[in-house]
């Protein structure tokens, strides 16, 4: 089987409009959460979110082109261009058919759908935009990225709620490993901060209602956590066959060595008791990577700050790693970025790669009163210098979707 490496990263996040801003934000422990500005949230139970600030699509895209893309598609295209540029990956006619795109999204073009429903109600069916469907459907981020880049290889979307971005990377890894592609542009994108999006998650009692101090609202593993903070953005990685990357002198940032996916078959929103599905996903990723649990020395947890989610993920980690679980530094970076839903796993995979690159582990901020049921090392408040050799990223979604990715420091001597 082919080895698979990471050669480029791209991100649009609540901490900034590129990968550097994302990394500087999480390492400094800066919160990207604030009061909602994308719409008037007066009267909403939750009036804050982790918005992408200062994003002007026409800085990156042709005006006409930008108008025909939902915000989640715009994020995906911009992040993908950053990743491909960082990878120094030319998509010429000779290799375009061997480079594919998978961009996951849990919700897709919610803003476009909401707007056009209002048009239908107030102005009638004849005024609905002909671009409604191609702007709204979840696969269009992947479709538009392939058009923007000229990538003609495998092209599709993964939709597995909050595991969508992680699954996109995992499937891309499997395609390269099995020889179906030389390279893949993979990740996730989401833009759910709309009235119906916030109202829907609020109605499900999934969101924090800490309106008096929004920057402290996302509190993974804290006893006073009361739900997640909805966020938006995109994360994209360029994955390549190692031989192909070497042949063109590509920058190699890390190696992807494992991917595991498992279903809870339990509940539409709640995780399985004891973290069963998450544990099986982690075990499968370790088995595919050929690694013992003791090899992992950093975990970026799903850590949404929901009462059940954090407790069951902690139980899953203990189940997989045993006593070693207490010796693994674990970050809940959603404490700073909020929960980017279908983009979360991809952004957190980027954080894992950067932790390997830079030898620093981001903190979990707002962890002031640890939950007794969550008693592992969550790197509270401040980043920590650690030589990271093997990093795991977990993503757990509504519907019982569980995904785990493993990244390892690249060593040429391994082959």
Annotated catalytic sites, by residue? Answer: 162, 302, 339
Distance CA 139, CA 41 (A): 29
Find all residues with CB under 8 Å of 289, minimum gap 6, and list them: 257, 258, 406, 408
Distance CA 204, CA 269 (A): 9
Cβ count near 203 (within 10 Å): 10
What is the distance between the alpha carbons of residues 48 and 27, in angstroms, rounded to a whole number? Answer: 23
Quick one: which H or E segment has residue 66? Answer: helix 63-67
d(CA 22, CA 17): 8
User: How many angstroms separate the CA atoms of 385 and 253, rounded?
Assistant: 18
The secondary element (H helix, E strand) that includes residue 285 is: helix 276-289
Nearest partner of 135 among 124, 125, 143, judged by Cα? 143
Neighbouring-strand partners of residue 50: 231
Pairing relationship of beta strands 330-331 and 298-300 according to DSSP bridges: parallel
């Amino acid at each position: 089987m082919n080895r698979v490496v990471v050669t480029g990263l791209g991100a649009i996040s609540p901490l900034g409009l590129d990968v550097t801003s994302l990394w500087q934000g999480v390492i400094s422990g800066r919160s990207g959460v604030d009061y909602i500005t994308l719409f008037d949230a007066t009267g909403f139970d939750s009036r804050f979110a982790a918005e992408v600030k200062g994003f002007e699509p026409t800085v990156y895209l042709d005006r006409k082109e930008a108008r025909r893309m939902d915000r989640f598609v715009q994020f995906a295209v911009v992040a993908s261009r950053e990743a491909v540029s960082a990878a120094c990956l030319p998509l010429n006619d000779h290799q375009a058919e061997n480079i594919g795109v998978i961009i996951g999204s849990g919700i897709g073009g919610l803003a476009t759908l909401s707007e056009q429903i209002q048009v239908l109600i107030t102005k009638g069916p004849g005024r609905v935009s002909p671009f409604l469907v191609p702007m709204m459907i979840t696969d269009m981020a992947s479709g538009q990225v392939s058009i923007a880049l000229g990538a003609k290889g495998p092209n599709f979307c993964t939709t597995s709620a909050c595991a969508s971005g992680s699954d996109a990377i995992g499937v891309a890894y499997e395609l390269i490993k099995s020889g179906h592609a030389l390279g893949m542009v993979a990740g996730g994108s989401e833009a759910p901060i709309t009235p119906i999006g916030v109202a829907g998650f609020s109605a499900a009692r999934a969101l924090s209602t800490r309106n008096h101090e929004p920057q402290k609202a996302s509190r993974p593993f804290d006893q006073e956590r009361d739900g997640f903070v909805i966020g938006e953005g995109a994360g994209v990685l360029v994955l390549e066959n190692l031989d192909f990357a070497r042949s063109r002198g590509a920058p190699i940032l890390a190696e992807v060595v494992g991917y595991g996916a498992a279903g809870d078959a339990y509940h539409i929103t709640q995780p399985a008791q004891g973290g069963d599905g998450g544990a099986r996903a982690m075990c499968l990723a370790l088995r595919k990577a050929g690694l013992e649990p003791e090899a992992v020395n950093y975990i970026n947890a799903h850590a949404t700050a929901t009462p059940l989610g954090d407790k069951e993920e902690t139980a899953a980690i203990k189940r997989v790693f045993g006593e070693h679980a207490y010796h693994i530094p674990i970050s809940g970076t959603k404490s700073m970025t909020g929960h980017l839903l279908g983009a979360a796993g991809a952004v957190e995979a980027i954080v894992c790669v950067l932790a390997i690159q830079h030898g620093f582990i981001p903190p979990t901020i707002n962890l002031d009163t640890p939950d007794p049921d969550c008693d592992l090392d969550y790197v509270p408040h401040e980043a920590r210098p650690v030589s990271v050799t093997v990093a795991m990223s977990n993503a757990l979604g509504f519907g019982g979707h569980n995904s785990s990715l493993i990244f390892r420091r690249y060593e040429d001597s391994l082959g």
